[in-house]
Chains A and B, each alone.
Chain A
Amino acid sequence: MNGKHGAARRMSGRGRVIAPAALFAAVVVLWDLAHTQGWVSDLILPRPWDVVVAAYELFSTGLVWEHLLATFYETLAGFGVAAVLGIGAAIAAGSSRLVRQMVYPYAVTLQVLPMLSIAPILISAFGFGYTSKIVIAGMIAFFPVFVNALTGLLAPDPDAEELFRSLRAGKKRTFLSLLLPTAAPMIFAGLRIGLTLALAGAVVAEIVSSQKGLGFLVQRYSSQLNQDDAFAVVLVLTAMGLLLYGAIGFADRTIVFWRHAARMTSKTRSRERSVRRRLGETPSRPAGSAPSNHSASEEKVS
């Protein structure tokens, strides 16, 4: 309906699958060729098939689970803390000019700070266990969540705001019914970035110092020159990243449904059903008079 989603949909199903698959095949073939031709050593780059086997064995031996769950837990906990604090701080800063003026310069400054440089400090402060990883993941994820949410909260629709004022909506009402939904797309944009960064933060923290986690595992295998397994762990990490990204994307499409044309059609139908049910006992007009066609073309003058 609008340009962005329209363009994504117009990219035909065939092109969406075949084009990246072709690139993938080419890379794998070239990669394997590099081995058979002796361009690279096994110590640097393992063969593709060996990586797949190693990945399978990581799971079949059950070795990976402990580490996978550790990284998953650190990422989610860090992200959760960052989401709650980031959105909370944005709401506080969005509703008070004073708070905004106090906090904003630091928020900007801390964004330029390479957060990972303080990882060793945090680890010595919070120990070698989960806490330090969660703190690092949370700190990295906090800023994109905070900055995006604040931007969204400070960019309302002036007409809608006037409307709410003319309807004498209170502060709380205006916030819940107008400002928060208006900011929701931006909040989710921040959460998407934050989740990816939380995973990165957790893994890096594990590499710096840890006895557990996928980052630790990569570090250990790699230092043992066991590149098959190191690559296999990276594969697992990629899968985890995709899963997390897919989950947040799903939440985005479900909650901010009005930004996704495909979602609105089903929403329309469910809203219609619930209103019908509500007015069920006394049909004020024949049910057949509301056709469920969703093309707004009828008497559309434009």
Chain B
Amino acid sequence: MGARSSRNGSAGIAVRLRGVGKRFDGGVEAIRNLDLSVGPEEFVSIVGPSGCGKSTLLRVIAGLTPCADGSVDVHGEAVTAPRADVGMMFQRPALLAWKTSLENVLLPVRMRRRVKDDDVREAMRLLALFNLEGFEHHFPEQLSGGMRQRVALARLMMTGAGVRLLDEPFGAVDELTRELLNLELLKIHERTASATLFVTHSISEAVLLSDRVVVMTPRPGTVAADVTISLPRPRSLDMAYSPEFQESALRVRDGLQLVQAEGG
């Protein structure tokens, strides 16, 4: 956490966006003049109205789509293509149906080099960490929706990337499962912190998980509010009832209402 004090050096910043703009082929402007920095151990959530370019923002950082204006740096280097130190997780788990949980988790390694025994052990350890012990050799079809997302989370961890991008990863699961998955994510982040950008529609989820919550304006998206969440870590679900939590949630909500009022 101390690393974040050296704000100016690129060493203290994992992801830096300066004046980023992105226009689709059809001429629709998705993002305009967006500035954002994320520290190497910082968990930043992005909330905003639907279609405000949140997903586009993540895809720009992931190097999956180029940005038209401005610059995107990851660990001090301009992003031009997908990078090994950036891992991404999608709303759908995107597991390969013909591979077991274990094999799906090992996929990032297999794309780079031969899988070693230690990789298998590490993948087994990650699956156990996500409470998937006994399901390592099951196929996605044999797992529940929440379990599939946990496999996808374990796969994200297996990339070992210093920057993690999560695009509404729990958008399609029910409330109860979402809470459990939030706890898993907290546990992981508090154990091995990395620069994390988390897109969500849920204010309480954003507040619970994050160090900062960034509110985006409607399209063309840019930063409308940047709310620092000072809840102590490790965090728990009980904190949702604390006054501090409520106050942070209110500030995020105010920011959202402001942009929604402007957007019509």
Contacts and interface: CB of A to CB of B under 8 A. Distances in A.
A167 B108 contact: yes
Given A159-B94, A165-B82, A293-B134, A302 B145 contact: yes
A296 B143 contact: yes
Nearest to B175: A301
A291 B133 CA distance: 9
A178 B139 CA distance: 16
A275 interface: yes
Given A302-B144, A302-B177, A275 B137 contact: yes
B147 A157 contact: no
B145 to A, nearest CB: 6
B219 to A, nearest CB: 21
A165 B134 CA distance: 30
Interface stretch (A109-117, A126-134, A257-265): A257-265
Interface stretch (B42-50, B85-93, B226-234, B255-263): B85-93
B138 A294 contact: yes
Contacts of B97: 181, 258
Given A296-B142, A296-B147, A163 B136 contact: no
B193 interface: no
B1 interface: no
B139 A258 contact: yes
A210 B85 CA distance: 67
A199 to B, nearest CB: 30
A181 B107 CA distance: 15
Interface in A159-209: 159-160, 162-169, 173, 177-178, 181
Interface string B91-128: 11010111010110001100110000100110011001
Given A165-B82, A166-B86, A290-B134, A261 B64 contact: no
A268 interface: yes
Contact of A181 (B96, B131, B141): B96
Contacts of A159: 90-92, 94
A162 B90 contact: yes
Contact of A261 (B82, B88, B111, B141): B141
A290 B136 contact: yes
A289 interface: yes
A298 B174 CA distance: 17
Interface in B49-89: 59, 62-64, 81-84, 86-88
Nearest to A170: B111
B194 to A, nearest CB: 15
B217 interface: no
B98 A167 contact: no
Contact of A268 (B84, B92, B117, B142): B142
A152 to B, nearest CB: 14
B135 interface: yes
Interface of B: 59, 62-64, 81-84, 86-88, 90-92, 94, 96-98, 100, 102-103, 107-108, 111-112, 117, 120-121, 124-125, 128, 131, 133-139, 141-147, 159, 174, 176-177, 180
5 contacts: A168-B83, A275-B102, A284-B124, A291-B134, A302-B177
